[in-house]
Amino acid sequence: MMNMPFQKLLVWQKGISLVDEIYEITKKFPKDEIWGLTSQMRRAAVSIPSNIAEGSQRTSQKEFGNFILIAKGSLAELCTQLLIAKNRAYISSETFDHISEKIMEIDKMLRSFFLKLGTK
């Protein structure tokens, strides 16, 4: 594995872990959702650590902060899609609660990280 500085960020690591879980969860979705909710959830999840990584390679704290905000947007998107999956009975309440906790933790970490960048 490459050794890039962003890989040391705990929030990036947790984002990667979330991606893995979302891929496992969506494997069980109905096949007719492959181009719908499955694809949407996977793209939103992948976007979170991807934007953290991309932002870390920018030349200013302000640019990095913008990518953190994009990651937060993708997290909100995933949260919405997770609720839709629960409402459609594609996931259990337990799975919903488990992933929701991870989403909330990452959201707090991203907010804190954004504030530390001083880009308000």
Tell me the pLDDT band of 119, cut-offs 50, 70 and 90.
low
Tell me the pLDDT band of 1, cut-offs 50, 70 and 90.
low
Q: What pTM, to 2 d.p., does this model score?
A: 0.93
Long-range contacts of 51-57 (CB under 8 A, 24+ apart): 52/6, 52/9, 52/11, 52/12, 52/15, 52/110, 53/4, 53/6, 53/12, 56/4, 56/5, 56/6, 56/9, 57/6
Residue 5: pLDDT above 70?
yes
